[in-house]
A and B are shown apart, each in its own frame.
Chain A
Amino acid sequence: MPEPILEVRDLTVHFYTYAGIVKAIEKVSFDVYRGETFALVGETGCGKSVTSRALTQLIESPGKIVDGKVLYHREDGSTIDLLKLSDEEIRDIRGKEIAYIFQDPHASLDPLYTVGYQIAEAMVVHNTVKDWKEGFRKAVDILRRVLIPDPENRVKNYPHEMSGGMKQRVVIGIGISNNPKILIADEPTTALDVTVQAQILELMNKLKEEYNTTVILITHNMGVVAEMADRVAVMYAGKIVEIGSVEQIFKNPLHPYTQGLLRAVPNPLAKIERLETIPGTVPNLIEPPSGCRFHPRCPRAMEVCRKKVPELKEIEPGHFVACHLY
């Protein structure tokens, strides 16, 4: 039986904006198992990034974590609720035990400091090295680990002296500098070309195997999910609609949204006469649709879908879906 490292329960985040309260995510619950790659997928605005940030309270005003629990099982056997920690306590965990890699490597790095300084800084602030000197020395090893050629010289580079792929390797380097237990990668390859993407994904897999890191991967790219993930949660309009193993989700998608999403992807290996589409647009989350949030666009919507919010139900072992059809 796989053991969970994270148990997320009823996570709810609202943004208090001028136009009204945006219910970005609503009662999101899932488990992440130790050592797996767990993918959160969905389209723009579905709440996948908000979910990943809320795990370590990384939600800024006007956003607020309204409800929920994030139970983190540490390696020493203790369990803590990450949402109950003070700012100082969570800062101690974030960047050390739970690290992030964000989408845009240009925005993640400070243009005024060398990449070596920025990698060393991550270790110095968490006291995982004894001084800056050791930090710089370790930064060279880290650049070597993320396969940057000529690390002894590259460590003195400023971000503008590197290509996009190179910068993302540095960002990954900062992420893994403290050997985190959980690595949260939010669209880590979206800003990169496919050939560079392939290199970065391979690097992430290699590092994951070496250090048995748990990876939470946030992406909209179904190809990346198919290649990387062990288990997948599909999000729509602030809710999880389906969770399952990657085989279950791709071979036997149950939720009409998951089915539509998979059929809308132009697969380069298949001959497609006509792509299937999902009619309508993503709803506004200030006043989300009643009942199932997908019902206005759902080809199989029934009367009950408008009235009752469907709960996640286990249909086959490990495969959960929130839909009244089941």
Chain B
Amino acid sequence: MSEPILEVRNLKKYFPIRGLFRTEGYVKAVDGVSFEIMPGETFGLVGESGCGKTTTGRTILRLIEPTDGQIIFQGKDVTKLKGEEMKWFRRKAQIMFQDPYSSLNPRQTVFEIIMEPVRFHGIEVDDPEDFVIRLLESVGLNEMHLYRYPHEFSGGQRQRIALARILALQPEFVVLDEPTSALDVSVQANILNTMKDLQKKHGFTYLFISHDLGVVKYMSHRMGVMYLGKLVEVGPSERIFENPLHPYTKFLLSAIPVPDPELARELKEKRMKVEGEPPSPINPPKGCRFHPRCPFAKAGLCDRQEPPLVEVEKDHYVACWLYAKA
């Protein structure tokens, strides 16, 4: 078995809530998350808004400084990197954002957008124009687009420009934060396929963050399900969809409307009934964070003690008292 390219250990990010004179509390956006990603694989991170998946992705890249925990990338603890080493990490690990309208500078041409990070990292390029054209071609654009501005492109094309910019730095690890959520399905399918092709060709490792479970299933080899700042289940994507273990995962999967009328109506009848919406991460429930909404919650256990993440079948972990011994 090869070494993981990225190891996240007990990662925490608390955002202070500042009152007039003092800190009045913390939003525990990410609260003790651990997982590993193997080279060349796609690890999916799913959950609903506010569960901490985006904060996890950004904290791993140190776009947000972690409150606690370790992030080991290729053997180095990212939280301790400085100077040249940090610059190395900034090149090796890239991110693609959700909103293709705010992630490109409207005053730069495509050529400038792609060349700026290349120059910053001091990467030698013989013929910059030819270099950028070849990058554009590998993401499905062409030399016609070289000197155009972002406003001249559609959302899907802008995400392709963002991909070309990432590709220019030859990174090894890319965080894809809801990269197709702003796009239509036919465009989304195109971009997802391009990202898969690039992974095959360049051996990229992806952390794929999304709220769309169908997309995560299509893209990722393994995945983690987050609820209120915690990972509740981690395992191979196929297995999680076939055999979800955590009640929250079951609830989440049963809530997806499937694009098949007969099946959708049949599944609707069997849909798990869970009341309410996720509580606030400022004062998360004690014990298992899902217990106030969980139909299987055991009083005296789930509301008192936090369940550990245990391996139930090979590589398939769950944090739930139904599967762990107290």
Contacts and interface: CB of A to CB of B under 8 A. Distances in A.
Given A194-B211, A266-B215, A268-B214, A223 B256 contact: yes
Interface string A192-217: 01111110011000000000000000
Interface of B: 48-49, 154, 156-157, 184-190, 192-193, 196, 211-215, 217-218, 238, 241, 251-265, 268, 271, 274, 276-277
B261 A246 contact: yes
Interface string A228-262: 11000000000000000011001100000000111
Given A195-B252, A198-B271, A267-B260, A281 B156 contact: yes
B265 to A, nearest CB: 7
A161 to B, nearest CB: 13
A227 B265 contact: yes
Given A194-B211, A226-B260, A275 B187 contact: no
A220 B211 CA distance: 16
A261 B186 CA distance: 6
A275 B257 contact: no
A268 B256 contact: yes
Contacts of A314: none
Nearest to B49: A193
Contacts of B193: 274-275, 277
A44 interface: yes
A269 B263 contact: yes
Contacts of A274: 193, 196
Given A163-B277, A262-B259, A278 B186 contact: yes
B221 to A, nearest CB: 13
- Size bracket, chain A contacts: 35 or more
A198 B274 CA distance: 10
A276 B241 CA distance: 22
Given A195-B48, A264-B185, A275-B192, A226 B264 contact: yes
Nearest to A191: B49
Contacts, number: 123
Interface of A: 43-44, 149, 163-166, 193-198, 201-202, 220-229, 246-247, 250-251, 260-262, 264-269, 271-272, 274-278, 281-282
Pick the most buried of B49, B196, B215, B261: most chain A CB atoms within 10 A of its CB: B261
B241 A268 contact: yes
B212 to A, nearest CB: 8
B48 A266 contact: no
Contacts of B238: 271
Leading 6 A-B pairs by shortest Cβ distance:
A223-B257, A266-B214, A264-B189, A193-B48, A43-B184, A198-B255
